[in-house]
Structure 1
């Protein structure tokens, strides 16, 4: 994977962010006592070891960046933005269901993403201008890599089951019908759909 430029960029982004957090903690630790120093050092030992952990760090970093850049929040510890994750997840999932890697303004709006704020997700999505003889005909979007789209869609499916107690595939069914559904059942259904 180190030969894939977008993965190198994601890795560099995540690792740079982790190193900066560690450096900031060292500065804070020099001013703190030994007990809190040990606690903070253990919190910074979360260097990603799997692709899932890498993408999770990347998603968190992009949400932090968008809040700092567009919302003016400059706090270093920005919590997860549930609405942003659900909107992006719904978009990623819906487009994968349709076998689309390119989507349009209407797709963004259908998932509750403001077209004018789509640049907020610029680290996750890329804006493409459809041109013909120098005239811009429309705007298209895609995730920076298919694996990012798949990760966000999988995260959405997991969170959807966790929160709504039903599968993302069965959004029309009632909670009573899905009472016995578990994460294992979701994974089996997902594999079956992928093999279709």
Structure 2
């Protein structure tokens, strides 16, 4: 898991990966997707375009232009990139096979894991002398399926089935209605 310590860092990470043969989007047949209960609440489920990703990095709802959370500092933690990797043998089998069952099973396992992570999501409560965390159960994340490793020295990339799930640092607190 990699933490993004600022919106600029998260956007550079996304753009740098895009600039290397469009690693995150175009070279892979499957475009990224915005997912999660918070994404549904905000009407954001769908393609993880650069525009949507960058807005979420800036703590902005791309549909409304409003802030997702009350405070936005320049060095706020933007999110976390969680990586899920298949064993090399599965990646090779998937690359040599025209059967998408391996990919579908992998995606389902990652989705189930992300839903478990989401169910345990919390917000910090630092109000009226409280110092606590409250369960929210809502997140927004962008996931990207990659079927190859990053190319090294302009060589042909190795099969490497993996998913990046980038969780944005925002949640919905039912009690506070924000």
Q: TM-score range by the shorter chain?
A: under 0.3
TM-score if structure 2 supplies the norm length?
0.27
Higher relative contact order (CA 8 A, sep 6+): 2
Indicate the structure with greater strand content: 2
Higher Rg: 1
